[in-house]
Amino acid sequence: MSTMEYRSDPSETPVDQEQLLRVLTARRGRIDESELLERFLPGEPTDTPLELFRRHFELYHALYSIQDRVPARGLKLHIGLARVELHELPPDRECRYFDSGFCRAPSGGDGYCDLHRDLMRRREEAGALGRASLKTYYLDRSNLETMDGTRLEMMMQGVYRYASSYDEVEDARRTLGLDRDFSIDRLRRRFRYLSKQEHPDSGGDSERFNRIQKAYRRLFWVRGAGATPDERA
């Protein structure tokens, strides 16, 4: 299969979502994207980069389409870069916020601790779960239908920057206390806040201040189209 037909109707997709859900539920733990593609959307060695992206998009469209269905089964589906993870949800008395693992701090019975309940509220108010989120991107099939070679090249440059230094990016993100769908504006505001707190002239820790500076430049380079903060000021 070197060419696939794409339709605007979300119900007419190449991935059997019920079968995908059964596979994920049976496996649990981590599953690489390549394994799921081989099972549900096998390609050909002659596939073009655009065709490879379309297969990727169809898989992630299906994954995000079933994501909200798994909590009813007591599970959490985390959709990440080139892999997905399915885990059993902690009980309600433990925080269910997931970031490379569940928080599991004591909760008020609603599934979140005080810190992450406030974080989720602020994310929703800031629109982090709206237009800019990966979930919204993959659920909107017009993003697939309008993809062309130029757009794909620009997107893949950003993906490569992230994937090629994944551990460093994740460490920088945690240093600044950002969630995975942070925006450039959120990055700047968080950096200004932490820099003011940790600046040595204000009694802050110089080592911590330097880590914040380094983390900011790393994340800006990844999320800011390969530019530094100075170049994009």
**What pLDDT score was predicted for residue 227?**
47
pLDDT at 5 > cutoff 70: no
**End-to-end distance of the chain based on CA atoms, in angstroms?**
46
pLDDT tens by residue, 11-69: 457 899 999 999 999 888 889 999 999 999 998 888 888 888 889 999 999 999 999 99
Closest CA to 74 of 95, 91, 98, 50: 91
Q: How far out from the chain centre does Cα 64 lie?
A: 11
CA distances from 14 to 1, 59, 62, 152, 221 (A): 12, 9, 9, 21, 35
pLDDT at 105 > cutoff 50: yes
Domain ranges for the chain: 156-233
pLDDT at 135 > cutoff 60: yes
**What pLDDT score was predicted for residue 160?**
61
pLDDT tens by residue, 136-153: 888 888 888 888 877 777
Closest CA to 142 of 43, 12, 14, 6: 6
The sheet that has 83-88: what strands, in order across it?
29-32, 83-88, 75-80
What is the CATH number that goes with domain 156-233?
1.10.287
Over the Cα atoms of the chain, what is R_g? 20
CA distances from 212 to 44, 65, 99, 119, 221 (A): 44, 36, 20, 20, 14
**What pLDDT score was predicted for residue 37?**
92
